Structures are given as structure tokens and as C-alpha cells.
Amino acid sequence: MTVRATVPFSAASDADQPLRVDLLRIAEWIEPGSRVLDLGCSDGRLLDYLQRTRQVRGAGVELDDERVIASVRRGVRVIQQNLEEGLALFDDKQFDTVVLSQTLQSMHHTEHILREMARVAHYGIVSFPNFGYWPHGWSILRGRMPVNDQMPYQWYDTPNIHLCTLRDFQLLAAQLGLRITHLATFRGDQEILRLRGWRSQLAVYRFESPGSGRA
């Protein structure tokens, strides 16, 4: 079901609130005027920002009713659908970039969604919590699953079912033929440039799809 913006977004001041640091980096990696698909677009904040500042032609996919409504109020075109069902609605290379922000770790079929991202767009951007962050190991040594601001859930109620390290993702990307072009890692609002695998809480990757043949 495609939902179009018919309700004006009255909270104008919300548009002025800064994006998360990882979303700002994602925005930097997207070409102005390009076609963007945001999977799990939440309240549409990223697409709204891209439409206003980079004039992208965008669409989002989101399942949650309240988040769909919030996206519509921002003027974001959104399709209400479960990502686990795939991206069959979209044609091959219909988009320039497809984004999956902090959702990969909650997908049941990780390889499938990455293959679908590579099919529908020339470039993909994914972000996920880095399970290799060193305090996680210390927490496990103490006999507890890690809980922090990046992974705030308890073991029994977490939506995160496929946690991985930076190296884990890089190996999977190589197996799927995804060529990584950019990497940014963060701890809170601070970008981490050294010992990323140990010192970062969140990783953001940009990859080129197989057969894209684009720079």
C-alpha cells in the first residue's frame, strides 16, 4: 500500500532539529537529485532532509502505522510493507541508492535483503550496531549480554537477532559481490577513525552493487 502526503506537517520546528550523526553521514554519500529508497524509514526524517537539502526523489518503506503517518506528515512518499517480504514491488536498478539504517540486525533473512538492495539500486548504505565494541566483550566475560545506548534492550526482548562485527559484515559483503566504497564508524556523536573494530558502537557502510559499472 502506497501512502501519499495529504496531511500538512504542522510541526515546522521539527524540520530544524538536527539529524543523528550517522544519518548526516549517509546524506553526504547521496548524490543531489538522485533516486533514493529508504527501507525501514521510520518517521521519514532522513528522506525529508534529503528532499529539502539534496533535492532527491525519494520513497520509503515502513510497516509501523504511527511511523507511516509521521512520514506522510513530512511530505514523504511511503509504502507500508514488511521488509521481510522482500522488494518485489521495485524494478531492477530503479533507484540510485537504497538505505537500510539500523535495521539489518533485526532482519531474519540478512543475505536476502542485501541481495535485494543490490538488485534495486546501484549503491546501498547500511548501518548497524558493532558487536565487536570492546565493552561488549567485557560484559559477556562478566556473564551478561551487553546493554547500552546503542543496544538498549535486554536479551529477552531485543529485536536484534543477527548481531555482527565489522569484519563479519565485510566478509558477507565480499561473498555477495558487494564492493565496499565507504565506511564510517561512531561512538555516540564522535566519529572513530582508529581501531574501529574495537572502539566504535555503530558502523555505516556504503557499497556498490554487482554489475553497476558506476564510479
Parse the chain into domains and list their residue ranges: 2-208
- pLDDT tier for residue 67 given thresholds of 50, 70 and 90: very high
The confidence score (pLDDT) of residue 18 equals: 78
175, three cell numbers: 561473498
Kindly indicate the confidence band of residue 44, based on its pLDDT and cuts at 50, 70 and 90.
very high
What pLDDT score does 10 carry?
Answer: 41
pLDDT band at 16 (very low <50, low <70, confident <90, very high): low
C-alpha cell at 155: 536479551
CATH class of 2-208: alpha beta
Distance between CA atoms of residues 165 and 134, nearest Å: 11
CA distance 52 to 58: 11
Integer distance in angstroms from the first to the last C-alpha of the chain? Answer: 34
Tens of pLDDT, residues 140-153: 667 766 666 656 65
200, 133 Cβ separation under 8 angstroms? yes
Asked if residue 6 has pLDDT above 60, the reply is no
**Taking the mean position of all CA atoms in its chain, how far away is CA 93?**
18
